[in-house]
């Protein structure tokens, strides 16, 4: 057992008490990634016996870093069987008492969700491990086991066990209970039977090659195991969610972009549901997406859930996005590097996630390079950091690719060959030669190769009084864990003070200072207006239409003052050029 698993072992007894546990799974570097100059962005900084684990995300290109708390952590040396033993197996006895449970793998595309849920021949995932455990428990009893397997694709449900992709309808019965009309339940009595049925379904699932994953899942796939005996029926849902996608990186177009927009909005809806459940809110928004609708009887109430948040260790932005959405689920974000930072980053991240969903639901994407590249310390990417954009084919053959192999029209039984799952200590680990070890450490890149030349950009000049006041933030401890200090650019908010005197300055210096202060004042007033104006007033502002005004009001519900600096305008989908235009027109208006 590794250090991380030892720390989480103590937590496993506590796991049965929580309704939603969030566990972090960081996959190893793939051979194709190991050769790039990327260093891991995630590290374990502290554990508390029987309690949470603190992880730090750190961007190697900037000084930005964040700490999050999760219920447990599984690193590159941990196996899926460790996750099963410590987090999932505890859910199984409850389904024999009629309680439903859900385990879902959540994360960006290529972060290892399918690897974790489905696994491979040699290293079975949580799905086969769960089925074998359930079957073993049923041996010698009157209990029957059935499985269903379906996917949610473009907001519609399709049965993966039916030869012709049959659509399933989610309906309420007369008692108000959810029924998935048309869904096939197939009895399974052995792992062989399960393998046969499941591998056919796996091949029917919609996957496609994208810019980030050779075999990217385009749907959420739900494998349900239902047990029934004379008195009870219980269900365990095991869900391989489609990856949260950043279309700036995937280069998705057409149908891929449409898929991606639905994927992202349904994941966002899922995080809203979990957030509402965690906060015990009276209304849980199950009906916001098909995914949450079909999980209505397995999320909430006395059901229990485990969210496995999967991370690619070299993708900082993705990691932030994954952990912040998981944090929206009421679980994680607890510590930033200073008291003053405590609120802003969460708000920013939530806004980012919201904006992404909002824009993508309208078929648009936003260029973060254009907005963040100018204003944010995270936006300046070096060519080496962009090397992930077109990955060569992975040297590892994905489990799904293997599962999709055909041999003379006959489906190969390649998913796994497993009887009953044995505890982790007996599970064969990969031989040392199979382990991916190469993690390169690189010197921090210089700022020179940034897309935007900060010193020359006209808007950068306009913004210089704001973005230059970078200050070191105070180090803060989270319980006994310390997150390293960080710096964050801050925009002064509130009273604006005109600099009246520049000691020793020439009349021209004074005049230039006045101009710069006027610009700053204008920006501050504009931001302030966005923070306080009502919808009608917002609509009258240049560059803010009705939809954007509504969106601003929505953001203000989450955070009273969401606009603290110009970079926050990126969060309402305004590019740097648009911001520049707005400010220029506003300034022109003054002199009319
Ligand atoms: N723990 C791991 N150890 C070794 N390789 C892994 C691990 N996790 C994932 N991989 C490899 O990483 C690649 C991407 O994994 P996977 O297909 O599971 O991602 P995903 O999150 O399901 O992506 P998508 O959302 O696009 O379907 C695959 O080649 C897979 O074999």
Q: How far is the CA of 181 from the centre of ligand 1 (A)?
A: 32
How does pLDDT run across 67-89, given as a tens digit for each residue? 888 889 999 899 999 999 999 99
Q: How far is the CA of 121 from the centre of ligand 1 (A)?
A: 14
217 is in an annotated binding site: no
Ligand 1 pocket test, pick from 4, 114, 264 with the greatest ligand atom count within 8 Å of Cβ, gives 114
Ligand 1, atom 31, lies closest to the CA of 398
Can you tell me the mean pLDDT for 183-207? 90
Cβ-in-10-Å burial (0-12, 13-18, 19+) of 181 comes to exposed
Predicted local confidence at residue 356, as pLDDT? 54
Question: 255 falls in which pLDDT band (50, 70, 90)?
Answer: low
Can you tell me the mean pLDDT for 431-452? 28
Ligand 1, atom 29, lies closest to the CA of 398
Ligand 1, atom 16, lies closest to the CA of 112
Can you tell me the mean pLDDT for 452-461? 32
What does the alpha-carbon distance between residue 191 and residue 199 come to, in Å, rounded to a whole number?
Answer: 12
How does pLDDT run across 389-438, given as a tens digit for each residue? 222 223 222 333 333 332 323 223 334 444 444 444 333 333 333 332 22
Q: How far is the CA of 326 from the centre of ligand 1 (A)?
A: 19
- The DSSP annotation for 297-308 comes to TTSSTT-EEEEE
Predicted local confidence at residue 27, as pLDDT? 94
Q: E strands along 2-70, which residues?
A: 20-26, 42-47, 53-58, 65-70
Ligand 1, atom 1, lies closest to the CA of 27
Predicted local confidence at residue 40, as pLDDT? 84
102 is in an annotated binding site: no
- Min mean pLDDT across 189-198, 268-277, 314-323, 383-392 is at 383-392
208 is in an annotated binding site: no
501: pLDDT strictly greater than 50: no
What does the alpha-carbon distance between residue 185 and residue 166 come to, in Å, rounded to a whole number?
Answer: 13
Q: What residue ranges of the chain are covered by domains with CATH 3.40.850.10? A: 3-341+391-434
300 is in an annotated binding site: no
- Min mean pLDDT across 103-117, 366-380, 409-423, 529-543 is at 366-380
What does the alpha-carbon distance between residue 203 and residue 359 come to, in Å, rounded to a whole number?
Answer: 32
What does the alpha-carbon distance between residue 85 and residue 67 come to, in Å, rounded to a whole number?
Answer: 26
First to last CA, the chain: 73
| 22 half-sphere exposure, CB direction, 13 A CA radius | 28
Which of the two residues, 500 and 26, has the higher pLDDT score? 26
- For the domain made up of 3-341+391-434, give the CATH fold: Kinesin (3.40.850)
Ligand 1 pocket test, pick from 84, 109, 115 with the greatest ligand atom count within 8 Å of Cβ, gives 115
Question: Who lines ligand 1 at CB under 6 A?
Answer: 27-28, 30, 107, 109-115, 213, 215-217, 242-243, 310, 394, 396, 398
Q: How far is the CA of 216 from the centre of ligand 1 (A)?
A: 9
Query: What percentage of residues in the chain have a pLDDT greater than 70?
Result: 60
- Three-class secondary structure of residue 398 per DSSP: coil
Can you tell me the mean pLDDT for 286-292? 88
Q: How far is the CA of 272 from the centre of ligand 1 (A)?
A: 26
578: pLDDT strictly greater than 80: no
Token code pair at residue 434: 């199979």
Cα distances (Å, whole numbers) of residue 34 to 114, 398, 414, 555? 21, 17, 27, 39
112 is in an annotated binding site: yes
Q: How far is the CA of 360 from the centre of ligand 1 (A)?
A: 24
Ligand 1, atom 13, lies closest to the CA of 110
Q: How far is the CA of 205 from the centre of ligand 1 (A)?
A: 16
Mean pLDDT, the chain, as a whole number? 68
Which of the two residues, 104 and 214, has the higher pLDDT score? 104
Q: What CATH architecture does domain 491-590 belong to? A: Orthogonal Bundle (1.10)
66: pLDDT strictly greater than 60: yes
Predicted local confidence at residue 582, as pLDDT? 81
Can you tell me the mean pLDDT for 562-580? 74
How does pLDDT run across 230-252, given as a tens digit for each residue? 888 899 999 999 887 655 555 55
How does pLDDT run across 504-544, given as a tens digit for each residue? 677 787 777 777 777 777 888 888 888 888 888 888 887 78
Q: Tell how strand 410-411 and strand 406-407 pair up.
A: antiparallel
Ligand 1 atom showing the smallest separation from residue 399 Cα: 31
Can you tell me the mean pLDDT for 28-42? 81
Question: 460 falls in which pLDDT band (50, 70, 90)?
Answer: very low
Predicted local confidence at residue 558, as pLDDT? 66
Q: How far is the CA of 200 from the centre of ligand 1 (A)?
A: 20
What is the DSSP-derived secondary structure letter of residue 360?
A: H
Q: What residue ranges of the chain are covered by domains with CATH 1.10.150? A: 491-590
Can you tell me the mean pLDDT for 215-232? 86
Ligand 1 atom showing the smallest separation from residue 118 Cα: 18
Q: How far is the CA of 242 from the centre of ligand 1 (A)?
A: 12
Q: How far is the CA of 23 from the centre of ligand 1 (A)?
A: 17
Q: How far is the CA of 466 from the centre of ligand 1 (A)?
A: 41
How does pLDDT run across 44-61, given as a tens digit for each residue? 887 777 678 888 898 888
Ligand 1, atom 14, lies closest to the CA of 110
Ligand 1 pocket test, pick from 123, 213, 244, 310 with the greatest ligand atom count within 8 Å of Cβ, gives 213
114 is in an annotated binding site: yes
212: pLDDT strictly greater than 60: no
- Min mean pLDDT across 25-29, 441-445, 469-473, 485-489 is at 469-473
* Count of Cβ atoms closer than 10 Å to residue 283 Cβ: 6
- Check if the beta carbon of residue 57 is closer than 8 Å to that of residue 319: yes
- CA 559 centroid distance within chain: 21
384 is in an annotated binding site: no
Can you tell me the mean pLDDT for 15-31? 79
Predicted local confidence at residue 74, as pLDDT? 94
Model's pTM, two decimal places? 0.60
339 is in an annotated binding site: no
Ligand 1 pocket test, pick from 112, 397, 429 with the greatest ligand atom count within 8 Å of Cβ, gives 112
**Cβ neighbours of residue 479 under 8 Å, at least 6 residues apart?**
46, 48, 54
Question: 342 falls in which pLDDT band (50, 70, 90)?
Answer: very low
Ligand 1 atom showing the smallest separation from residue 117 Cα: 18
Which of the two residues, 359 and 222, has the higher pLDDT score? 222
300: pLDDT strictly greater than 50: yes
- 230-239, 452-461, 548-557 — most confident range: 230-239
**Beta partners for residue 333, in sequence order:** 68
Which of the two residues, 479 and 186, has the higher pLDDT score? 186
Predicted local confidence at residue 239, as pLDDT? 95
């Amino acid at each position: 057992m590794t250090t991380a698993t030892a720390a989480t072992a103590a937590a496993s007894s506590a796991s049965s008490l929580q309704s939603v546990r969030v566990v972090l799974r960081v996959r190893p570097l793939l051979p194709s990634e190991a050769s790039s100059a990327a260093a891991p962005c995630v590290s374990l900084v502290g554990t508390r016996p029987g309690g949470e684990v603190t992880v730090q995300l750190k961007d190697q290109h900037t000084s930005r870093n964040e700490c999050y708390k999760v219920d447990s952590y599984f690193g590159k040396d941990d196996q899926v069987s460790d996750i099963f033993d410590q987090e999932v197996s505890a859910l199984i006895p409850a389904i024999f008492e009629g309680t439903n449970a859900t385990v879902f793998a959540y994360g960006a595309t290529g972060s290892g969700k399918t690897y974790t849920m489905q696994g491979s021949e040699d290293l079975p995932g949580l799905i086969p491990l769960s089925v074998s455990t359930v079957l073993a428990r049923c041996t010698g009893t009157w209990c029957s086991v059935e499985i269903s397997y379906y996917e949610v694709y473009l907001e519609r449900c399709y049965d993966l066990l039916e030869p012709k992709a049959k659509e399933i309808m989610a309906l309420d019965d007369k008692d108000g209970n959810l029924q998935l009309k048309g869904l096939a339940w197939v009895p399974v009595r052995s792992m062989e039977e399960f393998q046969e049925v499941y591998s056919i379904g796996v091949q029917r699932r919609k996957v496609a090659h994208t810019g980030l994953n050779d075999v990217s899942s385009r749907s959420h796939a739900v494998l349900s195991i239902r047990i029934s005996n004379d008195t009870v029926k219980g269900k365990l849902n095991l869900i391989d969610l489609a990856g949260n996608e950043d279309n700036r990186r995937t280069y998705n177009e057409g149908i891929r972009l449409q898929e991606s927009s639905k994927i992202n909005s349904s994941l966002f809806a899922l995080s809203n549901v979990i957030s509402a459940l965690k906060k015990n809110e009276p209304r849980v928004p199950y009906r916001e997406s098909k995914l949450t609708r079909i999980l209505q009887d397995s999320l909430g109430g006395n059901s229990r859930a485990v969210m496995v948040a999967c991370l690619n260790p070299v993708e900082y932005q993705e990691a932030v996005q994954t952990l912040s959405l998981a944090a929206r689920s009421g679980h994680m974000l607890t510590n930033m590097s200073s008291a003053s930072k405590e609120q802003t980053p969460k708000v920013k991240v939530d806004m980012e996630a919201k904006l992404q969903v909002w824009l993508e639901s309208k078929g648009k994407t936003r260029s973060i390079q254009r907005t963040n590249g100018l204003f944010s310390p995270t936006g300046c990417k070096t060519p080496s950091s962009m090397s992930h954009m077109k990955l060569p084919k992975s040297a590892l053959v994905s489990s799904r690719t293997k599962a999709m192999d055909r041999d003379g029209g006959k489906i190969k039984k390649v998913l796994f060959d497993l009887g009953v799952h044995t505890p982790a200590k007996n599970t064969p680990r990969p031989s040392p030669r199979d382990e991916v070890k190469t993690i390169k450490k690189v010197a921090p890149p210089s700022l020179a190769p940034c897309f935007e030349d900060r010193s020359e950009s006209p808007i950068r000049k306009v913004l210089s009084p704001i973005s230059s006041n970078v200050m070191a933030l105070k180090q803060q401890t989270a319980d006994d864990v310390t997150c390293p200090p960080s710096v964050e650019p801050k925009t002064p908010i509130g009273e604006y003070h005109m600099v009246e005197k520049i000691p020793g300055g020439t009349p021209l210096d004074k005049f230039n200072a006045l101009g710069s202060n006027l610009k700053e004042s204008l920006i501050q007033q504009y931001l302030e207006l966005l923070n306080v104006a009502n919808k009608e007033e917002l609509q009258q502002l240049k560059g803010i239409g009705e939809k954007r005004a509504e969106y601003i009001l929505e953001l203000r519900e989450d955070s009273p003052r969401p606009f603290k600096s110009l970079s926050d305008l990126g969060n309402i989908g305004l590019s740097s050029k648009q911001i520049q235009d707005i400010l220029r027109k506003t300034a022109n208006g003054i002199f009319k």
